[in-house]
């Protein structure tokens, strides 16, 4: 083996699936030097995940990439339940909206093939950075020197990589015309791959400050780190077909739950381009004595036959099959999500479960959405490395909730309908329907509620362990405690720890109506949202001046609009920006009445006219009733800190600037302070 090359990088991302690319998007927006490697030779263009939650659409919007996905995708608006009637014949039992109306500006979840979503991510990466995915690259070893973990100029993680050189592609891209004859599933593919390095490959050592590993359910990184997955495998085996169905089943274009007395269940998911994904229980396939089943025994026509039996008396055929697979339901969650807060696992590498709730890709992307900005702030020297602890504390809770949810939810799918309430082997259809209604909040991604931490000022004590480099005598560990404090009662509908919801507001200057959430872009900045109240009242406007004066005079220079007058807006504030929503009649206040901090000036570009908004009736799009929606007093207002990932971090009054400063001071690096 030749002497390996060594190259340094801030962040190495292993795996270019949705979780890995979401992390890369953060790095591209925050200007972090990043490499992405993937063992797959090509961008796989069929199959895999397809469901996109409303919350994920909001994340896409924060990176300004939602429009294409929204347009191309299939919008899944409705959910139907089909059960046997008293005569044993299948009939539609109920219909409901697939998500909770009003919960997001992206009302419905949508469906689009994973590769199309990845495609949009890749286009955006190319537009904002020079980050490219290097394919056919496999990591060979990974080591981390924990003693340097607090030293931000060190590159403590060493990853040796090798190019995979094979005689022939191990990834037969399914030709749609072949009707899935060359079908395979993602899991088998990954396993196959581990064995094939038929030729010696050139090697390179990457020295990284941080590694984010999104290398899937059979994560190489996880196994190298020796982390375990906890959980269990069920006896239920399901098949999946992506086909263009030819059928007289009337609800083929809505999400359907079809239960039969003894033939098993189906979930139908309508897709783009007339495709439908059929999740079909294979009741006749049972796992062997080792708890596993023989995957090779199953072919698409077996799945079709099982589906035909379940959907009878309706007919089901297809001429075009895009992809198919089989899986055994199981739920597992990783014991640990990071090593030394230098190597992080995300996505399927730390949670696996059944695909039917459409959670996998979403929760995976949200993992790295949670992690990306934290890493970027630490790498840029803005935040202390201790904020990285919150990745595991926040996301492991979500992963465990997901696993519990999936256990309950998939059991409801795999059992037959109960004959009566005494039938314990079955599922009462009213319980199923109730569970479905309940799951909509979880499935849309809005149930996530981060606990108190250094980044979320929920009332309570937060413990933190900080490691510093002692002078020549190794790292020192120091424990500290914070008394976190917020005034939740000032914004009763903005629960701390949850994502900041969106209501329509009006731009004060040009009267255009905006969904406020659309303005919270993923650029790594905290957003200080000033609910300025009724500024037509002199006393209230004085409070606003008091607030901006205090903010300007803080020891921590959060909001630095005038650091560099010739620079672009983006580089001028490095920790937080301020957005204002007032509730005075727009006619009674002029833009220039507000303090300059709220409407920064640039010598070339003049005033920034996109920072002050009004909660008022719009000309064309009704009244957003934002103050009411957020639960905030229309006269006195309040101040809310929103994290770069849009979760509510702190709430206080206009006079609580000390507490606001404390919130930031707790985690800002010393170099950020005056």
- List of residues contacting a copy of itself (CB under 8 A): 67, 71, 74-78, 95, 97, 101-102, 107-108, 244-248, 250-254, 270, 274, 319-320, 507, 509-513, 587, 590-592, 603-606, 609, 618-621
355 carries an active-site annotation: yes
Residue closer to a copy of itself, measured from CB, 216 or 245? 245
Dist CA 544 CA 15 (whole Å): 48
How would you class 86 by CB atoms within 10 Å of its CB: exposed for 0-12, middle for 13-18, buried for 19 or more? Answer: exposed
Sign of CA dihedral 637, 639, 643, 648: negative
CB of 250 to a copy of itself, least distance (A): 5
Dist CA 236 CA 338 (whole Å): 31
Name the nearest CA neighbour of 189 among 270, 293, 267, 295.
295
Residue closer to a copy of itself, measured from CB, 223 or 564? 564
Q: How many degrees, rounded to 5, is the angle at CA 145 between CA 140 and CA 147?
A: 170
At 619, is the secondary structure helix, strand, or coil? Answer: coil
CB of 193 to a copy of itself, least distance (A): 34
Which residues make Cβ contacts (< 8 Å) with residue 472, sequence separation at least 6? none
561 carries an active-site annotation: no
Residue closer to a copy of itself, measured from CB, 395 or 586? 586
Residue closer to a copy of itself, measured from CB, 62 or 467? 62
Dist CA 435 CA 79 (whole Å): 13
CB of 431 to a copy of itself, least distance (A): 23
Catalytic, out of 29, 35, 255, 271? 271
71, HSE (Cβ side, Cα atoms, 13 Å): 5
CB 559 within 8 A of CB 599: no
CA 116 to chain CA mean position, Å: 17
Helices (H) and strands (E) counted in the chain, each on its own, are 14, 30
How would you class 41 by CB atoms within 10 Å of its CB: exposed for 0-12, middle for 13-18, buried for 19 or more? Answer: middle
CB of 86 to a copy of itself, least distance (A): 20
Residue closer to a copy of itself, measured from CB, 66 or 212? 66
CB of 124 to a copy of itself, least distance (A): 14
Catalytic, out of 84, 139, 300, 355? 355
Helices (H), 228-344: 300-311
185 carries an active-site annotation: no
Residue closer to a copy of itself, measured from CB, 422 or 592? 592
Catalytic, out of 10, 50, 534, 577? 50
Phi-psi region of 237 (alpha: psi -120 to 50; beta: other; left: phi over 0): beta
DSSP string, 39-97: S-SS---S-S--EE-HHHHHHHHHTT-HHHHHHHSEE--EEEEEEE-TTS-EEEEEEEE
Catalytic, out of 210, 236, 279, 630? 279
CB of 351 to a copy of itself, least distance (A): 30
CB of 346 to a copy of itself, least distance (A): 30
CB of 93 to a copy of itself, least distance (A): 12
**Count of all residues that appear for the chain in the document:** 674
Name the nearest CA neighbour of 125 among 30, 14, 10, 48.
30
Dist CA 358 CA 577 (whole Å): 35
At 276, is the secondary structure helix, strand, or coil? Answer: strand
CB of 271 to a copy of itself, least distance (A): 11
- Tell me the chain's radius of gyration from C-alpha atoms: 26
CB of 292 to a copy of itself, least distance (A): 36
Residue closer to a copy of itself, measured from CB, 504 or 636? 504
Q: What is the DSSP letter of 672?
A: G
Residue closer to a copy of itself, measured from CB, 258 or 639? 258
Residue closer to a copy of itself, measured from CB, 32 or 269? 269
DSSP string, 354-373: -GGGS-HHHHHHHHHHHHHH
Residue closer to a copy of itself, measured from CB, 38 or 577? 577
171 carries an active-site annotation: no
Residue closer to a copy of itself, measured from CB, 609 or 655? 609
Helices (H), 380-466: 389-414, 429-444
> How does 597-634 read in b/e, with b if 16+ C-beta sit within 10 Å?
bbbbebeeeeebebbbbbbbebeeeeebebbebbebbe
Dist CA 134 CA 548 (whole Å): 47
Residue closer to a copy of itself, measured from CB, 508 or 643? 508
Dist CA 24 CA 132 (whole Å): 9
CB of 322 to a copy of itself, least distance (A): 13
CB of 606 to a copy of itself, least distance (A): 4
Q: What are phi and psi of 465, to 5 degrees?
A: -105, 120
Active site residues: 50, 271, 279, 355
């Amino acid at each position: 083996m030749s002497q390996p090359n060594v190259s340094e990088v801030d962040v190495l991302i292993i795996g270019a699936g949705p979780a890995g690319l979401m992390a890369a998007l953060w790095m591209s927006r925050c200007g972090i030097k990043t490499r992405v490697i993937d063992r797959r030779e090509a961008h796989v263009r069929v199959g895999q995940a397809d469901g996109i939650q409303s919350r994920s659409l909001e994340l896409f919007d924060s990176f300004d990439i939602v429009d294409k996905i929204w347009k191309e995708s299939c919008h899944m608006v409705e959910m139907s339940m089909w059960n046997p009637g008293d005569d044993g014949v299948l009939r539609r039992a109920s219909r409901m909206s697939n998500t909770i109306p009003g919960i997001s500006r992206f009302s419905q979840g949508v469906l689009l093939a994973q590769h199309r979503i990845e495609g949009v991510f890749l286009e955006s990466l190319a537009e904002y950075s020079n980050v490219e995915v290097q394919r056919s690259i496999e990591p060979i070893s990974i080591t981390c020197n924990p003693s340097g973990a607090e030293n931000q100029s060190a590159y403590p993680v060493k990853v040796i990589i090798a190019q995979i050189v094979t005689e022939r592609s191990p990834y037969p891209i399914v030709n749609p015309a072949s009707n899935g004859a060359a079908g395979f599933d993602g899991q088998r593919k990954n396993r196959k791959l581990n064995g094939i390095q038929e030729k010696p490959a050139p090697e390179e050592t990457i020295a990284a400050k941080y590694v984010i590993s999104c290398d899937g359910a059979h994560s190489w990184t996880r196994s190298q780190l020796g982390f375990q997955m906890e959980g269990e495998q069920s006896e239920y085996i399901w098949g999946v077909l992506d086909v263009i169905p030819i059928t007289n089943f009337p609800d083929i274009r809505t999400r359907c739950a079809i239960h039969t007395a003894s033939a098993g269940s189906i979930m139908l998911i309508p897709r783009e381009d007339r495709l439908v994904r059929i999740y079909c229980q294979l009741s006749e396939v049972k796992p062997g004595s080792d708890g596993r089943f023989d995957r090779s025994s199953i072919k698409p026509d077996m799945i079709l036959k099982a589906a035909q039996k379940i959907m009878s008396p309706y007919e089901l055929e297809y001429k075009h099959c895009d992809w198919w697979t089989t899986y055994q339901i199981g739920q597992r969650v990783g014991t640990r999500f990071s090593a030394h807060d230098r190597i992080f696992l995300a996505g399927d590498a730390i949670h696996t479960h059944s695909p039917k709730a459409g959670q996998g890709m979403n929760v995976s992307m949200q993992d790295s959405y949670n992690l990306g900005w934290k890493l970027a702030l630490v790498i840029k020297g803005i935040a202390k490395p201790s904020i990285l602890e919150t990745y595991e504390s926040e996301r492991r809770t979500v992963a465990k909730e997901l696993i519990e949810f999936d256990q309950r939810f998939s059991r409801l799918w795999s059992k037959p309908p109960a004959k009566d309430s005494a039938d314990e082997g079955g599922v009462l259809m009213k319980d199923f329907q109730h569970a479905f209604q309940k799951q909509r909040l979880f499935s849309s991604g809005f149930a996530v509620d981060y606990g108190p931490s250094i980044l979320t000022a929920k009332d309570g004590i937060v413990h933190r362990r900080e490691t510093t480099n002692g002078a020549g005598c190794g790292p020192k560990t120091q424990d500290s405690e914070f008394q976190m404090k917020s005034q939740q009662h000032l914004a009763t509908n903005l629960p701390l720890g949850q994502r900041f919801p969106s209501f329509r507001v009006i731009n004060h200057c040009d009267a255009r109506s905006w969904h406020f959430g659309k303005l919270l872009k993923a650029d790594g900045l905290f957003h200080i949202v000033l609910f300025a109240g009724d500024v037509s009242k002199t006393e209230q406007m004085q409070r606003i001046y008091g607030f901006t004066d205090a903010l300007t005079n803080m020891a921590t220079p959060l909001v630095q609009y005038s650091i560099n007058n010739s620079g672009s807006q983006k580089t001028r504030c490095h920790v937080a920006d301020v957005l204002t929503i007032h509730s005075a009649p727009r006619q009674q206040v002029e833009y220039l009445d507000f303090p300059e901090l709220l409407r920064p000036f640039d010598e070339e570009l003049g005033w920034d006219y996109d920072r002050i908004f009004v909660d008022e009736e719009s000309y064309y799009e009704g009244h957003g009733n934002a103050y009411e929606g957020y639960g905030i007093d229309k006269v006195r207002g309040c101040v809310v800190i929103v994290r770069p990932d849009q979760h509510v971090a702190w709430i206080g009054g206009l006079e609580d600037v000390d507490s606001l400063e404390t919130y930031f001071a707790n985690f800002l690096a010393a170099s950020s302070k005056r």
